[in-house]
Structure 1
């Protein structure tokens, strides 16, 4: 499948994403390796499987990056899985999480910080502001985790003091917060006179207790920074815990004393004063607990987006990099990992520098062939190894020793950042361009009008984005924005020309600029700002200035100067560093605001055609021209030939097959308008009126109908299956409404609205004779499903043959009608897929070289998914056998002629004297003489054909998918492949030349 022997990097031919968790472990993965190999997959693409929070379904909430997740499997089970991959020559790409960790009780680093504050060796591992503008948080870590106001939680006894294994903790639900050891004195000194009354002064247990108290008083404080003193603190506090535990176990009197103290500090319900003791103890800790809502304004550690229990780590610190990557590098040295997928690189301080170091360290492990005994800094590998790497890099600046791709989300027309030493993105850019060519752009205006009329709104998508990015900065991430505002205010105070700018105006200016920021982030990492980054900064500042005439233009100019590092001539080095640090922090915030404001809000508000609402997509761009699609493929071949290209991922808003169905609506706007109007009329009486508003509203209704069209099960489900489907739809719609933040939200769930929506769904999906909606919906949906099937086969073949490395999300080799997570993380029935593939291969083998009869059966029973599995396995196998052609070969767009020329997409992949023509249909509803009973051949395609370029001299091509020979014909002196022949019995085609094609052009 690929080169795994001597040279590196190992470039995958195709990848298959597996989601590891407690329901699917290493043994399960080992069991399907042979199936994936038979399918044509070269590399497993694994979700994170380092130790994560208990019960994690996705693995991104890592608590220990130095250990495998025990819920996924043991070290031996992992090794067995790796050996099985090796048996078939398959590689493994691992998804790694350098940006954040779960900050809960299971994370020993986080717990150490809570117990030891600034003196913890891990205090600087996390991106914590120990000196925030809010003075009450100075020296403290603010943890917004409580379900209600602190006082209410305290007095309802939800915060419980515990004594365990010689240490004191405060527990909230299943979360533990360690007490500062030096504050044990507040506990052990409380009511000691009661203990003295029980035992004599010379009692050895009392003497030991008093000795422990004395030792506690002499502990170096939590704010200690001297390394020798910190070492003393760690030694002594652990000795004290052991002594205290031994004393607790040995003496019934001491045990009773400590238990009574714990009970006393835990207070009594109904007696507010009884909680003063615990309140006082908590006030002395280095952490401060508060209501979770407070996080939006006062949190002082950087999070992953707005998720409170995912704390950002400072990977730019060499110690943090070393500790978080130890296991990764060991597995690379042991050849157990052959590639990496870097999650959310935009959250890193300097992504390019991180990726450069990652490549350098991977190179070192590959040269050593085994992990060094002391896996520390790169210097441990010796200067010769590093010199070797630098020599290779200087001779070829594009040299990449290890296959790494980054989850970089590119916005409309944005290019990859220059100089990133990786092989490309994880494929969202391709996903959106592929999806775009199946959306009929000529109907954009019609869709605008029907959506505006039906929803009675006239919002442009750009306005929706602006408003919702502002909403995120003001609600979900106002704490981060306030921190930036204070930082900028401190900068302004130092100059007499800017000192009069108020904190409030500066913070508002930051909010407005971020709301208009056109990309996820910029990548300034020195005092020299690249033109690309400067342009993005200036564009955002200019738009913000025009939008806000009430804010002084001088404030925006000042902010623009800081962001572009336009230093005054008299600036000192310290002044420059201060501006630079502000820019670095600013850059880390724009990406999560874009993600939360656009992907997780605007995409659920703007429901014109929801198949366009995909990560990295531009829903305002209604479709993509074939010229643009081919142009993007040519660019990828030239600059990023080994980037992943995909159609579904674990983060997709909808699966590829759901989008393929919904895209069909773009072809039939008049029919869609009629359906929307009719269905809304039929279901009007099923709505609930709350405070004069019909629920769901028209926009929500528009989303619901499109979702039902896209996710509707094939065939007639039994009662149990139908109930499961309805439950999935209700869960999805509630999530969508909360993400939209219009009538309900995660922060303020509107139970009345949500209950009304779910009741509406139950009513319109009820199986009953008088449900006219279902009576009309099902036949329409069934027709859409058929055309969606054709779309899906087309996009599947394009994904496998376009420039790049095709990636398959688990289960999508057959029909998959999943919605966004967690719906798309449901268990996959691999036994069914394995059986289907075996039966498929046996069935097709029986027909010999003439596959027409077998293909006819596949089309007739298309609903079982075998036809998609056939296209996937046949095309992947061919790609594997000819991988150099697809990895390095040229790409030439093909032109069609005839009445249906716009209904076909085609191109040539060529290397040397071998060429493969890929041709797929689109917009099939527009073929007036198309029928489900006779979808192919002369009756459909009439005189439409593909024009062959002069470079291709062959006259006979073999269809890889059907086994047929297709002959070139001449029309008006043009060499043509008639689509009636190309699509004689199957809806997509991959044609291989059977003779010398005479195309000598060098690959791009």
Structure 2
């Protein structure tokens, strides 16, 4: 981000993510806008609400970017939603999906166009399809791996059904309807045509029209046609033919009956395999090949979103695609209904830098001119690409869903206000993990599970597993491209396809970040280091593979072109690099987030998106340094502690972090619980279920998610189902004892039986008797962590972001668990009660009341409400004010994190406790902290004796004594403090 760029049009003070779906629609969202405004939220952060696949729970399966999702609401309800936001003076950040579309349902007109006309389709270049793939049988075709079983079985079971609808032939598979090539209608229309000619006289005008339609369809320009005039002719004539055929069949019953009979014959008869030959032949002539969904890993020839077959990647770098998916959102921006954008998965784009630049250019043009969306030129005619890049400015609030690895920063070239907040979340989480216990915890984990693998070793193996088992088709395609490049040079043509493929796999397995961002003929120093590090590690790991192969791949990736290379070869090499970059990201996401995070379970609160589980905690100074950097580079980036993508809710992580403070107790309880539950394990293939690593994860999960309030029988059953679902997902993601591709049902049933037995509610359940006291300790200490991270999120540089429902305790797990319904009615009542009682008894007594009954979550709600209100009223301090780390003195100096935000004479001081497990023997007892903090104090070097500060949460005023404030006073009533200089 260039600090000299024009500032975004609207900066949110705080955001709140609303997850729209069938049980929380636009009308429901409208009803909570007022509540969120009163809570202190300034901007609604909406999940995608463009037309999606039927029953979508998330909105990322978009089928039409230019229409609102009717399943979520009517046009009037959307307008009411926009009006409610505007009337409250709020903004709206909208989540958009420029990388992919859903291609597995009927609403995607672009995809259906491709399936009907192949390479001659107007939308053929919209999707990333390889029409000349490695498998020659797929040349000119697109593989559709969507069948539930082998193609032959599905065909002969009668599940593929040909239908004639309004002049067109379609193939139905369940609810899905696939178009047929219009030229292949002839196969249906000409079948048994002699019997039709016997039925109708030769001079019959209806027969003449029928034969004329067949002739017209037979002479359509082909589906591989690339000439623009021929393609226009094809579109014109195929639609005319459909209309003629529909009219003919509507007007002549004999012909309609004849066509229907042909359709019935071609559909075959279940139990007679040979009767399906006609349908098989018809399908073989289409531009798509239907296949079993498992075939995708090896043979798929369109780029997907990660490994999801139903999400086809789109080429947003194509100007037609850019405008084709941004027309509606740009109109909403023009009308002031959308004031910010969250861009999903920019790492999947061909050129993220140029995408963000173009997005900013168009937003600026719309916001500063009277032009309506769609009338602006996408690229200025004849303008130099580099000059256009310089014209782009940060004119609109855009954040990118970017996952940063260790030491990585957002590319300077990206015109964004920041990211969705994973980096902040992990830096903040680290200060609540006791780094001094790292060795002890590692020993406990390895002794219990028997695993000696480091996290990085697991990442390496799992990324390779993904490339071999899930994305081998993409890797094979890349290897063949590299092989063709090698064949062009006599110095490299002896490199075998196998050696090149292995080199690609090894380099990606060691790639230290999600991707590089090479887009021109130059390579940044940042990307050069990433590439050379990956190649170096891959080379050292594979001494049996010629080093010259790795040198060749390195030089390609670094755009080191041989002398005398042609422009065509230069373009081929550059395109290989761009494709390589698009593959490293999904491999890393699947290998790390969706596999390694479920295998390495030492302390699972560290296994978070963008996290580094091998780093056991981080010092407070590192957190301060991160905040100072954010204030300088991205002051308006999001601060998140939970998102729809996080592996655990924020309060689950806060609890599990507590275990790092008590390794001895954790070890003791692990041994006890394992012994108590040993007989509850069933044997599958001679091995006990769960294995030790899964059991280790299970106990952490119970400690993190067990509800704070007592459960009745119905809630207890619901809770057990959640744990069963989570553990099933975990073992499939880990890909050790079961997988999504090939689930081990026997193993999973044994896991379910184990959980049911362990959680059986009864007086003789010795596990639960042992579990409850320890769980209470972890829960109450976790509350301190939760409140601390809530306040730190609100007061740190950046925009605090709240995931739906997290104003109370958030004990959810990974999706779909975290996408459940939120009880807003109770939250509205709590807010109203807080306001009423604050007037009646004052903030001091209210704070004490909430602190005493902190299990119900109102204390978190209160901290959130009061801190957001203060930030909203003093936004300048937090947006542009200095960030000053504060030190502490005394015996508990290491147990706090404190900083000040200053702007002129205005000062806010934030103090939170950390790592209190060693010092609080009975955390469930009422607050009485003077003995804990003793003479410890927070130092305020810029203060003078006699300065007064008001506690925002309690209203209490306290004076500075010798440039310090006693922690006993600071934490007298609440375990977190926000002080305002009076």
TM-score of the superposed pair, with normalisation by structure 1:
0.95
SS in structure 1 opposite 2:544? coil
Change (3 A) 1:802 1:373: closer
SS in 1 for 2:341: strand
Residue in 2 that maps onto 1:997: none
Question: Counterparts of 1:198 and 1:313 in 2: how far apart (Å)?
Answer: 50
Q: Deviations over 1:606-662 (max 9, x none)?
A: 111000000000000001110100000000001111100110000000010110111
- How has the CA–CA distance of structure 1 residues 954 and 191 changed in structure 2, closer, same or farther, with 3 Å as cutoff? farther
Q: 1:15 corresponds to which residue?
A: 15
**Change in 2 beyond 3 A, CA 1:370/1:825:** farther
Check conservation: 2:299, 2:473, Cα contact below 8 A.
Answer: yes
CA distance in 2, matches of 1:161, 1:876: 59
Within 5 Å, give how 1:253-264 maps onto structure 2. 253-264=254-265
- Name the structure 1 match of 2:547: 553
| Residue 938 (structure 1) aligned with residue 930 (structure 2) | yes
Distance 1:803 1:36, change over 3 A: same
**Structure 2 counterparts to residues 292-691 of structure 1, below 5 A:** 292-369=293-370, 371-372=372-373, 374=375, 377=378, 399-691=393-685
CA distance in 1, matches of 2:8, 2:731: 47
Deviation at 1:250, TM superposition (A): 2.4
- After TM superposition, give the deviation of residue 243 of structure 1 in Å: 1.6
Question: SS of 2:519's equivalent?
Answer: coil
1:57 aligns with 2:57: yes
Aligned partner of 1:879 among 866, 871, 890:
871
Q: Secondary structure at the match of 2:67?
A: strand
Cross-structure match for 2:859: 867
On the 8 A contact 2:950/2:980 being kept in 1, the answer is yes
CA-CA distance at 1:181 after TM superposition = 0.4
**Structure 1 match to 2:72:** 72
Over 3 Å counting, the alpha-carbon distance change for 1:896 and 1:929 in structure 2 is farther
Matches of 1:882 and 1:621, distance apart in 2: 36
In the aligned structure 1, how far is the partner of 2:944 from the partner of 2:157?
80
Which aligned pairs between 1:721-732 and structure 2 lie closer than 5 A?
Answer: 721-732=715-726
In 1, Cα distance between equivalents of 2:577 and 2:519: 9
Between the aligned partners of 1:392 and 1:308, the Cα distance in structure 2 is: 34
TM-score normalised by length of structure 2: 0.97
Q: Secondary structure of the residue that 2:595 maps to in structure 1?
A: helix
Whether 2:939 is the aligned partner of 1:947: answer yes
* Partner deviation per Cα, 1:429-449 (whole Å, 9 max, x = no partner): 001011111111100000100
CA contact (8 A) 1:403 1:422 kept: yes
1:999 aligned partner = none
Partner of 2:833: 839
The change in CA–CA distance for 1:393 and 1:989 in structure 2 (over 3 A counts) is farther
| Structure 2 counterpart SS, 1:647 | coil
Aligned partners of 2:327 and 2:374 also within 8 Å = no
Corresponding pairs, count: 976
Q: Offset of 1:989 from its aligned partner?
A: 0.2
User: Which residue in the other structure is 1:178 paired with?
Assistant: 179
Q: 1:199–1:571: structure 2 CA closer, same or farther, 3 Å change rule? A: closer
**Preserved CA contact (<8 Å) 1:439 1:622:** yes
Q: Residue 926 of structure 1 aligns to a residue in which SS?
A: coil
Whether the 8 Å CA contact 1:405–1:426 is kept in 2: the answer is: yes
1:828-861 alpha-carbon deviations (Å, 9 max, x no partner) = 111111111111111122123xx33222211122
Aligned twin of 1:1002: none
8 Å contact 1:334–1:370 — kept in the other structure?
Answer: no
Q: What is the match of residue 94 of structure 1? A: 94
Structure 1: distance between partners of 2:600 and 2:723: 19
Q: Contact 1:334/1:371 (CA < 8 Å) preserved in 2?
A: no
**TM-superposed deviation, 1:864:** 1.8
Cα gap change, 1:746 to 1:392, in 2 (>3 Å): closer
Q: Which residue of 1 is the match for residue 222 of structure 2?
A: 221
Distance 1:379 1:847 in 2: 64
Matched, 1:987 2:965: no
Query: Which residue of the partner structure matches residue 33 of structure 1?
Result: 33
The answer for the alignment partner of 2:891 in structure 1 is 899
Question: CA–CA distance in 1 between the matches of 2:370 and 2:956?
Answer: 48
Cα deviation for residue 74 of structure 1 reads: 2.3
Could you tell me which of 784, 796, 805 is aligned with 1:790? 784
**Correspondence list, 1:275-294, <5 A:** 275-294=276-295
Contact preservation (8 Å) 1:944, 1:979: yes
SS of match in other structure, 1:501: coil
Classify the secondary structure of the residue corresponding to 1:847: helix
Please give the alpha-carbon distance, in whole angstroms, between the structure 2 residues aligned to 1:568 and 1:393.
30
The separation in 1 between residues aligned to 2:943 and 2:95, in whole angstroms, is: 42
| Residues 814 and 866, structure 1, Cα contact 8 Å, conserved in 2 | yes
Once the two structures are superposed, residues 216-268 of structure 1 have per-residue CA deviations (whole angstroms, 9 ceiling, x without a partner) of 11211111222222122112111211221222222222122111111111112
Query: Which range moved further: 852-861 or 950-959?
Result: 950-959
Tell me the distance in 1 between the aligned counterparts of 2:263 and 2:851. Answer: 71
Tell me if the contact between 1:661 and 1:789 (Cα under 8 Å) persists in the aligned partners: yes
Q: Which residue of 2 aligns with 1:3?
A: none
Offset at residue 370 of structure 1 (A): 5.7
User: Which residue of the partner structure matches residue 122 of structure 2?
Assistant: 121
Deviates more, 1:343-352 or 1:69-78: 69-78
Deviations 1:527-583 (A, max 9, x none): 111111011001001100111112111111111111111222232322222211110
Separation in 2 of the partners of 1:574 and 1:179?
Answer: 36
Distance 1:883 1:218 in 2: 68
Secondary structure in 1 aligned to 2:476?
Answer: helix
2:948 is aligned to 956
**Aligned equivalents of 1:737 and 1:165: distance in 2?**
48
Equivalent residues of 1:334, 1:369 under 8 A apart: no
Q: Is the 1:858–1:866 contact (alpha carbons within 8 Å) kept by the matching residues of 2?
A: yes
> Counterparts of 1:145 and 1:909 in 2: how far apart (Å)?
55
| RMSD (CA atoms) | 1.9
The superposition leaves residues 921-951 of structure 1 with CA deviations (integer Å, 9 ceiling, x where unpaired) of 1111111566532434412211111112146
Q: Secondary structure at the match of 2:286?
A: coil
